[in-house]
Chains A and B, each alone.
Chain A
Amino acid sequence: MSLKSEQTSAHGGVPETTAPYQPVFVGAARAELERLRPSYPTMQALLLPALWIIQRERGWISEAAMAEAGEVLKLTPAYVKGVVTFYTMYHTHPVGRHFIQVCTTSPCSICGSEETLAAILRYTGCGELGATSSDGRFTVIEVECLGACGFVTPIMVDDDFIESVTPERVPDILARYP
């Protein structure tokens, strides 16, 4: 892997860094990927698991990281980017320390999820959807159907799945995420 600087995209709001790129797939992360190899007949099939590993390690998936995944799995960087951008859960720019997804699809919408979303935007100080709060603590997005429609409003904070969130419960729940 050649030394490339980590490119950050403009809307991430993070200053450009010139630090050399540190590869993800060395040591334990490399071993984790190798362990998955026998489960699939092609290298390409390891792409989604590899992207999950990158996001877990780095918080988001930079162009340099996409290139690294491509190199490891023998895919072009352009191909990898095409896949990354297809899926909504991969971050292509840095996000806050805690990433909040709020379901507002119809079953939630008709039961008041928009009020919960508004309460979350107020509490976090994120001015708008997709923006990161100025203290870098939260990023909030609207998500399509989380598959917990009977328990409005379901939200995800990082990997935690929380059901039946009402505007009143928002401060107590989010206080758990410093």
Chain B
Amino acid sequence: MGFPYPSDPRETVLLSKYFGDAGARSYTGWTERGGYEGVKTALGMAPEAVVEEMKASGLRGRGGAGFPTGLKWSLMPKKADKPHYLVCNADESEPGTFKDREIMRWTPHALIEGCLIAAHAIRAERIYIYIRGEYTEPLAIMERAVAEAYANGAAGENVFGSGTRIDVTLHRGAGAYICGEETAMLNSLEGKRGNPRIKPPYPAQAGVFGLPTTINNVETLAAVPHIMVRGAAWYKSLSLSNPKSTGTKLISVCGHVARPGNYEVTMGTPMRELIYDMCGGMRPGRTLKAVIPGGSSVPIMNAEEADRCLLDYEGVVAAGSMLGSAGMIVMDDSTDMVRAIWRLAKFYAHESCAQCTQCREGTAWTTKILERILAGLGKESDLQLLLDLSENMTGKTICVLSDSCAAPIVSGIQKFRGEFDAYLAKARTPAMATA
């Protein structure tokens, strides 16, 4: 539902059905609402059969990359002659995204159940749930839920009497956006600095502690029990546009809409419908200027692109951006695009792990150049310099953090060039005192 607002009839409410319902948080409350049936079904099936069901459902990763979940699980070694691990990525920190937080706050057992099903499918003996350090409330709720799962035989040495042992460990991060990158997360879990790793080897071959590992996002795992209970065919049928995008997606909407919140829609729902019908449109008297649809790391869309955008993996690409984590930052005509883009660059400069030169230097210089433009001290050549820097920051580093910084810069200059030019021509009051 459009939490914290009441559910809109145009939503398809699966994962968010119990947002705001504190009774759903306890083990008993969750089983009364039909919880833990999916994992019982899964445990009665061979791991390969569970993987096939996931493949058939069309479920794709909800953390940002959209990689098919069943396919990811199938890449794990079939033999469990050494430990296998499942790592749940609960390090939600992509600007604009705040959905995993609500899943953990209101339906912690949905996440645990999804983790257990995934662990069975990939023959993992242990699940690590890596929660960002700032999420103190979700962490406390998850701690209680894990203890309850153990007390009720849903986790531990004999999960629901199946003879399978699956342990669950919560691991608290300590403040680093980059740890949401899956290989950085593995390093962090090992007690190291959160530097992303060069791939290959991929985590399925050598992941955490050098052992086969699958990393899935919170929302992906929370969807899994629904697929086990209602079947892959049903889940696949939830698709309004491209059949490669199935199921529902939680869209975190923030910025200048009347009712920001988390909205759960069927894949393929028009962005227009989400903004104007479900979120109550723009703030009074304002019009739409721009949308960053997938968390801050994707190209910025202008109003015309947003208007024709369908919210699924292919639909957002067709409209010039990417679905990413579906954290939608909506900006109205009052927004200073240069300043908004500068604040994004500053974020990436702060969060660069500093391993790769292109990223460490590129994000810092991008920020400084934007600061001088905002201070009214920009040079005519600065836009080309920013574009050249962005070119050198794209596709050349270990992870995609620097690409993520470049995406809003390049698209911002392309689509809102007039605002940059106004600063350069000193036609606009400087938004900063000094650079």
A interface residues with partner B (beta carbon < 8 Å): 39-42, 44-49, 51-52, 73, 75, 82-83, 86-90, 101, 104-107, 109-111, 143-152, 156, 159-161
Report the minimum CB–CB distance from A32 to chain B (whole Å): 13
A150 and B262 in contact (CB under 8 A), knowing A45-B189, A51-B174, A145-B93? yes
A161 and B137 in contact (CB under 8 A), knowing A83-B192, A149-B96, A150-B254? yes
Q: Out of A44, A101, A149, which one reaches B327, CB within 8 Å?
A: A149
**Chain B residues within 8 Å of A83, by CB:** 191-193
Query: In this assembly, does B92 line the interface, its C-beta being within 8 Å of a C-beta of chain A?
Result: yes
Bound CA span A63–B5, Å? 48
List the B residue with the shortest CB-CB distance to A107.
B254
Tell me whether B256 and A110 are in contact (CB under 8 A).
yes
Q: Name, among A86, A109, A111, the residue most crowded by chain B CB atoms within 10 Å (CB to CB).
A: A86
Report the minimum CB–CB distance from B253 to chain A (whole Å): 7
Report the minimum CB–CB distance from B314 to chain A (whole Å): 25
B interface bracket (residues with beta carbon within 8 Å of A): 35 or more
Tell me whether A110 and B331 are in contact (CB under 8 A).
yes
Tell me whether B172 and A39 are in contact (CB under 8 A).
no
Tell me whether B253 and A87 are in contact (CB under 8 A).
no
Query: In this assembly, does B160 line the interface, its C-beta being within 8 Å of a C-beta of chain A?
Result: no
Query: In this assembly, does B357 line the interface, its C-beta being within 8 Å of a C-beta of chain A?
Result: no
List the A residue with the shortest CB-CB distance to B178.
A86
19 more A-B residue pairs beyond the given contacts A82-B193, A88-B176, with a C-beta to C-beta distance below 8 A = A40-B169, A41-B83, A44-B190, A49-B172, A52-B172, A86-B353, A87-B175, A87-B194, A88-B175, A104-B343, A106-B96, A106-B344, A107-B329, A110-B331, A143-B134, A147-B101, A147-B132, A149-B97, A150-B254
Tell me whether B98 and A148 are in contact (CB under 8 A).
yes
**Chain B residues within 8 Å of A48, by CB:** 171-174, 188, 191
Q: Name, among A48, A82, A146, A160, the residue most crowded by chain B CB atoms within 10 Å (CB to CB).
A: A48
Tell me whether B136 and A161 are in contact (CB under 8 A).
yes
**Chain A residues within 8 Å of B98, by CB:** 147-151
Bound CA span A151–B117, Å? 33
**Chain A residues within 8 Å of B256, by CB:** 110-111
Report the minimum CB–CB distance from B415 to chain A (whole Å): 16
The 8 sampled A-B contact pairs (Cβ below 8 Å) are A88-B176, A106-B95, A106-B296, A107-B329, A145-B94, A147-B93, A149-B255, A150-B261
